[in-house]
Structure 1
């Protein structure tokens, strides 16, 4: 019998040793939705329960980064990679947890630019990274070291009492 691929680390409650989940998804709206749902499931399993503020915040960040990978990083026939990591945060007292969401696509012709602080116009799009910047403690993007593409990541610190 093979193990569950989503259980790549210990399943004790946070804060604990590092938890990590990574998977490739089709670069489609369906793939982005599945990545967000699996992110929500992993967070809950790691002790960040459904309905809590940290869970909702992290799920929204995951949704935005995955949607951007599909919309702006889509290369036909190529998947995007979703990485979710939770580890003890030694920068907070008492020790909390730092959660990192990273989404890697294979279209590296341009890195995302921060959205303007005061977006203008009536456009319904173009505000995803503004949301990420408002919700995350830190976020950035970088070119992939191996092959074409980029990784966009965001981190959130979760106090021990909120996990």
Structure 2
């Protein structure tokens, strides 16, 4: 579980970079030219964030969730909710990227503020999601999984996400 927790720390570090831009957009009065620059930077940072996030998520969905599911079930409970959150996160990021493709200079400040809300939602869901995984799923795994299963899981998860 420490491998996945460490990945959460790294992903949270990357998220903090783009969250600062989200917070910048919450100001009352924004300079339109600077807002365009900030939006371009936000898009760049989120695009860079996608690969490590996808690699982390794939490790969880391919190795961790199936093994934990053999202990706690697959049909209901925390595993189902966590997997739904993966889809929700993908949706917010995808929606943000969809609405920021093309000429960003054509967007008004109001349009930029509206589209940045998708990135803000992705940040919020991810933040809570990491806490849920660490406090619920990882604790369950440590308490329920046999040592041999934990060792085998470690071998599969101990890879880089970058």
Instruction: Answer whether TM exceeds 0.5 for this pair.
Output: no
TM bracket, shorter-chain basis: under 0.3
Name which one, 1 or 2, has greater alpha-carbon Rg: 2
The structure in which a higher percent of residues are helix is 2
TM-score of the superposition, structure 2-length normalised? 0.28
